[in-house]
């Protein structure tokens, strides 16, 4: 069946025809048949260079041969045990070795579970209730963070079904704004348990922190007994071996992971200093549990992925990212367009606005109608990016010079189309 017909059929059985809202772009999403390296192939016979990469996990590209080999071996040995395995210790050791704040790790199944549990832990540790999140940040689909959220929730930022009683303890602030945090903490600091932040905002496009901003947050949280949580579900293992905390040289109290850590399989994790992590059951009383926590297939895939992510890998990803961003900037300059090219390392996005993008409000000034034309044109010409101005595009190790060259040609055409 072709994608259009599959989508019509899907809508009868799956709300909106998909299992996650952002996937349902108009008029219908392509349905995947297979994927390998930098390419994804649809059921209609088309091939795309993929910059969505399953929204971030596939930093080694699709169907990484080593991961497939190791996971195949694991599958033959069982897919879930409900008892501990040595590989969980090995993966936890890898996380601890790489990530500055990590002394212990709890593996869960998704980024959503990781942030939910990290917030619970932070509240228990601080013995306070309020949390602070940034406008436009996305920390998964659980109640207390689904307020003015990014990702698929931009334009649908607060969900019905979440009691006000739940979100009244979530305080919103603009990203990259020291004054807003300083004033808030002056007023409310004694009630704030935690600040949770995507160190690079990756769910309203891609917004890096201003120079010194994360350091400022580290200092002000430490002075006010507020737990600092870095949500590194996107940046973890992507922008440096130790994630954003290594990249920016700022160590939070707790960190959350997902995506890359599972090597293309479902995973999440929270990690932090021992004094925090020891509060988690069964060492402590903060409840956290899951049938599939530490799933042996995900753990094996994660271990095999991390083995391939050494310092050479990060240098190469930086080069690829720089090359692509510089190429896009050149196209915009040659067309006399003042749109903004954002990103760092292997993350990028174009904002169709002439405003510098430092926070959610700036990002929202981007013309989504123009983005839609650009997206459709890219798709038509064989380049797949996430179907929203407010998602981030990703490169993988498998994107070679030819892919980048071809992508820039396709982008140039799309940008010319947008201009006309
Ligand atoms: N945190 C961030 C920064 C994310 O980008 C996401 C998902 O995109 C999540 C949390 C939620 O992760 P998951 O979709 O695995 O639940």
Cβ atoms of residues 366 and 205 within 8 Å: yes
Per-residue pLDDT at 345: 97
Buried b (16+ CB within 10 A) or exposed e, 73-99: ebeeeeeeeeeebebbeebbebbeebb
From the alpha carbon of 203, which atom of ligand 1 is closest? 5
Q: Is residue 18 part of a domain?
A: no
Which of 285, 307, 329 is a domain's end point? Answer: 307
Q: Do 145 and 229 share a domain, yes or no?
A: yes
What CATH number is associated with residue 350?
3.90.1150.10
Cβ atoms of residues 224 and 368 within 8 Å: no
CB-ligand 1 contact for 150 (6 Å cutoff): no
Measured in Å, residue 340 CA sits from the centre of ligand 1 at 25
Q: Do 254 and 361 share a domain, yes or no?
A: no
What CATH number is associated with residue 85?
3.40.640.10
Count other C-beta atoms under 10 Å from residue 380's C-beta: 13
pTM value is 0.97
Give the chain's domain count.
2
Q: Do 329 and 410 share a domain, yes or no?
A: yes
Q: Do 59 and 70 share a domain, yes or no?
A: no
CB-ligand 1 contact for 140 (6 Å cutoff): yes
Q: Which residue's C-alpha comes closest to atom 12 of ligand 1?
A: 111
CB-ligand 1 contact for 346 (6 Å cutoff): no
Q: Is residue 212 part of a domain?
A: yes
Measured in Å, residue 256 CA sits from the centre of ligand 1 at 9
Per-residue pLDDT at 156: 58
CB-ligand 1 contact for 234 (6 Å cutoff): yes
CB-ligand 1 contact for 118 (6 Å cutoff): no
Q: Is residue 49 part of a domain?
A: yes
Which of 292, 307, 322 is a domain's end point? Answer: 307
Measured in Å, residue 346 CA sits from the centre of ligand 1 at 17
Cβ atoms of residues 121 and 254 within 8 Å: yes
Q: Do 104 and 202 share a domain, yes or no?
A: yes
Q: Do 83 and 102 share a domain, yes or no?
A: yes
Per-residue pLDDT at 149: 82
Per-residue pLDDT at 166: 87
Per-residue pLDDT at 158: 73
Q: Do 123 and 160 share a domain, yes or no?
A: yes
CB-ligand 1 contact for 202 (6 Å cutoff): yes
Q: Is residue 89 part of a domain?
A: yes
Q: What token pair was written down for 400?
A: 């070679």
Q: Do 54 and 179 share a domain, yes or no?
A: no
Q: What token pair was written down for 94?
A: 């890898």
Q: Do 259 and 367 share a domain, yes or no?
A: no
Which residues span the domain enclosing 412? Answer: 31-63+312-419
- Tell me which of 39, 55, 128, 231 is the catalytic residue: 231
> Which tens digits make up the pLDDT trace of 223-281?
999 999 999 999 999 999 999 999 999 999 999 999 999 999 999 999 999 999 999 99
CB-ligand 1 contact for 262 (6 Å cutoff): no
Q: Is residue 240 part of a domain?
A: yes
Q: Is residue 25 part of a domain?
A: no
Q: pLDDT under 50 in the chain at which residues?
A: none
Q: Is 213 considered catalytic here?
A: no
Q: What's the CA gap between 97 and 102, in Å, rounded?
A: 8
Q: Is residue 292 part of a domain?
A: yes
CB-ligand 1 contact for 61 (6 Å cutoff): no
Q: Do 139 and 155 share a domain, yes or no?
A: yes
Measured in Å, residue 139 CA sits from the centre of ligand 1 at 5
From the alpha carbon of 198, which atom of ligand 1 is closest? 3
ipTM of the complex: 0.99
Q: Do 70 and 59 share a domain, yes or no?
A: no
Measured in Å, residue 203 CA sits from the centre of ligand 1 at 9
Q: Is residue 56 part of a domain?
A: yes
CB-ligand 1 contact for 115 (6 Å cutoff): yes
From the alpha carbon of 56, which atom of ligand 1 is closest? 8
Q: Do 190 and 255 share a domain, yes or no?
A: yes
Which of 265, 289, 307 is a domain's end point? Answer: 307
CA dist 335 to 7, 306, 354, 355, 419, Å?
Answer: 37, 41, 14, 17, 8
Measured in Å, residue 264 CA sits from the centre of ligand 1 at 14
Q: Is 259 considered catalytic here?
A: yes
Per-residue pLDDT at 25: 93
């Amino acid at each position: 069946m072709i994608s259009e017909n599959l989508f019509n059929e899907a809508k009868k059985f799956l709300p909106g025809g998909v299992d996650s809202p952002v996937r349902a772009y108009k008029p219908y999403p392509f349905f995947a048949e297979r994927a390998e390296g930098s390419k994804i192939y649809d059921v209609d016979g088309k091939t795309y260079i993929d910059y969505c990469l399953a929204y971030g996990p596939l930093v080694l590209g699709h169907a990484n041969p080593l991961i497939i080999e190791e996971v195949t071996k694991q599958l033959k040995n069982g897919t879930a045990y409900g008892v501990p395995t040595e590989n969980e210790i090995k993966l936890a050791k890898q996380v601890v070795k790489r990530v500055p704040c990590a002394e212990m790790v709890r593996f869960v199944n998704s980024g959503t579970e990781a942030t939910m549990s990290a917030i619970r832990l932070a509240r228990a540790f601080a013995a306070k209730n309020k949390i602070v999140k940034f406008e436009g940040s996305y920390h998964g689909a659980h109640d207390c963070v689904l307020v003015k959220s990014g990702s698929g929730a931009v334009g649908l930022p607060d969900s019905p079904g979440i009691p006000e009683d739940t979100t009244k303890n979530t305080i919103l602030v603009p990203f990259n704004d020291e004054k807003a945090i300083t004033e808030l903490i002056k007023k409310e600091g004694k009630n704030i348990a935690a600040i949770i932040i995507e160190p690079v905002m990756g769910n309203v496009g891609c917004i890096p922190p201003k120079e010194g901003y994360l350091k400022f947050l580290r200092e002000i949280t430490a002075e006010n007994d507020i737990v600092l949580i870095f949500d590194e579900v996107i940046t973890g293992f992507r922008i440096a071996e130790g994630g954003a905390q290594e990249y920016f040289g700022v160590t939070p109290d707790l960190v959350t992971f997902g995506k890359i850590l599972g090597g293309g399989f479902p995973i999440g994790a929270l990690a932090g200093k021992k004094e925090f992590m020891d509060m988690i059951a069964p060492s402590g009383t903060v409840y956290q549990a899951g049938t599939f926590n530490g799933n042996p297939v995900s753990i094996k895939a994660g271990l095999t992925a991390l083995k391939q992510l050494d310092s050479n890998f990060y240098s190469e990803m930086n080069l690829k990212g720089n090359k692509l961003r510089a190429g896009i900037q050149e196209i915009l300059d040659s067309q006399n367009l003042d749109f903004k090219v954002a990103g760092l390392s292997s993350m990028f996005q174009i904002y169709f606005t002439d405003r510098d993008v430092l926070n959610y409000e700036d990002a929202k000034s981007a013309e989504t109608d123009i983005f839609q034309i650009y997206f459709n044109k890219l798709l038509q010409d064989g380049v797949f990016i996430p179907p929203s101005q407010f998602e981030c595009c990703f490169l993988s190790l498998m994107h070679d010079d030819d892919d980048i060259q071809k992508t820039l040609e396709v982008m140039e055409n799309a940008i010319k189309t947008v201009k006309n």
